[in-house]
Structure 1
C-alpha cells in the first residue's frame, strides 16, 4: 500500500454481534487462557465478561490446564483442544488468547475448521475497554486516526520496505486489535535489539569496540544478550536500572564483568529525582504518581562516549534522548529504541532525534504477536562511512 496507511478495520463483526452470539450460545470458548497473554489479562477479561454477559459460561480450551486438572478462577469448565472439533461447537463464539506464533496459527486453524465465530484476544480487550498496554483500545484507535497524517509522513522516511510494511501493520492493528495484521511482518523475538547470529540482515551489526549503553536494563537480560552477541568483545557497558529490586537482580548476576558499569538510576532530560512506580518487573516506570523517589541523571552529564544505545523505558524514551543531545550529536550512536507503549511514542521519539541531529536513518521492526516489542532502529549512514 504505497504512500498511505490503511485506516480500515479488519473484522466485520460488531461488538453487539459478538455479545449477542455469546448470549444465544450460553457459553464462550476461551482458547489457551494459560498463555502468557492469558495470564496478563485473564482476571480483567473474566471481570469484564461477568459484567457484560452475566450467566454466560466460560469454557477454557487448554491442554495444559486440562492435563493438570486445573480450572482458573472465573471459568466453569476446561476441555482439551481436541474437543473443539465436536459438532456442538460449530457456530459458537471463541476468543484466541495464544501468544506464540505457532500456537496462535494452530488455534486459528482449529477454530476455523470447527466453524467457531472467533475474536482475537486484543479485539475482546477493545470490546471490554481494557488497557492494551497503557491505553485502551478506544483511545488507541482515536489517537491513531487523529495522527494519521503524521504517520503517513513518517512512513515515507522509513529506510526500507520492511519498515514501511511494519508501520502499516501496526496501524491496522491499532484500529481493532486483530493480530492477523502482524503475520507478514513479525520478526523472531530472539532478534530483538541485536542478533546472536552474525550477518548483515539485522539493522544492528555489532563491532568489537562498542561503548554500549542500556537504559531500562531490568534484571540484566539485554546486557547478557549484548555480551553474547558481541562474543564478549566490547569497550565498555553502562547499564541503568532505577527499580531497586530489578537492580539487585542485575547486580547479583553481572557484577564483576569486565568493562561493566551498573547504575541504580533513572535517565531523563533533567537531573535530581523522579517519582517512580517500582514493581520489580519489566513494567516498572517513571510515573507522576509513583510511590518511590529514584535518583535521575542526564546521559550528557555522566558519559563521554556512546556507540550503541538500547532503550526501553515505558514511554519515557523521548525525554532520555533530549537529555543525551550532546552525546548523540557528537557520537552518532546506533540506537534500538522501544516505541510501542503509547500511540504517539514513535512520533515523539523521531521528533526528539530530528531536534538533535539531521540525517538519521530510521528502520522499524516488530517482535511479538501483540502490541509489545516494536523497535525503532536509528543510525547515521554518513557517520558509519566515517567510521564513527
Structure 2
C-alpha cells in the first residue's frame, strides 16, 4: 500500500492520519477536507467559543509542526465528489483525482436544516463558520433566542446563550429532550437544568413556519403558538455526508455501513467518525471519532478485519454549568437507580448525581451529573465487564 487518502480533515480524519503514521505507514498520505480550515475541535463551538471564553487559536487540533511531522499532502477547501473503486481513486470537485491504494472515509455529517427560504438570523451550528456567524449575531444586544431541538447541540447552545444574558426558549418535538439516550426518568431530571437556568422549555411541539421578511421575527408552532425571535438556532440532528459515494459499491444506509472493525464492503476502504455506521450503529460522539481510527487503520493496513472498535460507548455534554457524562448502552426496560447525590426540584442537586442503569442484575450504563470521579470508576467497571474484543479468523 503506497498511497492512502483520508477523505475528511476534521477530528476522525486527523486521528486516522496519526494512526497511519503511528502504525508504520510510511507511504504517501493525502488528507482531503472540504473546509478551508485545518482540523479544529468542534465541541467548544457550542460552548466556550460562543461565549468568548475560547478563541479560534485554541480550537486547533494540531499545529503547523505536527502537520509537518505527519508528512501529508493537505488538500483543503476541496470536496470529494466520487469514489472510483475500480480505478482506486478519489474524485474531487475541482476535476482532480487522487489515486489511492487505501481510503479512509471520514467525511462526518452536516447539520439538518429546516425546509424553506433562508432568513437572516437563522443558524445551524456544525462548523467554525457557523459558529462565527452565530456569535456575531449574539453580540448585537440582548436577543430573543429560540433553539429548535433539545438534543446535545441545542441544549449546549441554549446554555451558552443564557450565559450571555439572552432570553432563551428551547423547542423540542419529543415529550422530553434526550429520552432516547437517557430514558424518560433521567431525561426529565436533565431537562430540569433548562428551567433552573431560566430558559423556557417547550416540549411536544413542532415548528410550522418561521416568520419574517428578510430577517426572522418569530417561530410559529403547529399548535398555533407564536414565539418571538431575533435569533433562531436549528439543532434537529445531522445527516451523514455520503452523497459523494453515490454510484460506488459501498453500502450506504444512514452512514457508510461497516463491520465491527470499521471495514466497508471494500477491504481497502474503511470509515470512521460520524459518517460510519459500525456494526449497525452510527455514533456522533467525540470519543467514537477518536477511538475508531485505531482499529480502522489496523484493519486497512492488514487488508482484513483483525481488530474491533471499543465496546462501551461514552459521551458527555456541558449544559448550564453542569457536566453530563454517560457510558454504556441503555435499552427500554432497564431500571435506573440514583446511587449518589440526588434530585432537587426536578433537577440534579448541588452535589450532582450518579445513576446506574440495570438489566438482569447487572449494570448496563451509568449517568453522572457533576460526579466525574465516581463516574470514572463506574465506567472502568463497565469496560472490565465488556466482552473481549472480537477478532476475525486469521
Give the TM-score normalised by the residue count of structure 2. 0.31
Give the TM-score normalised by the residue count of structure 1. 0.31
* Larger relative strand fraction: 2
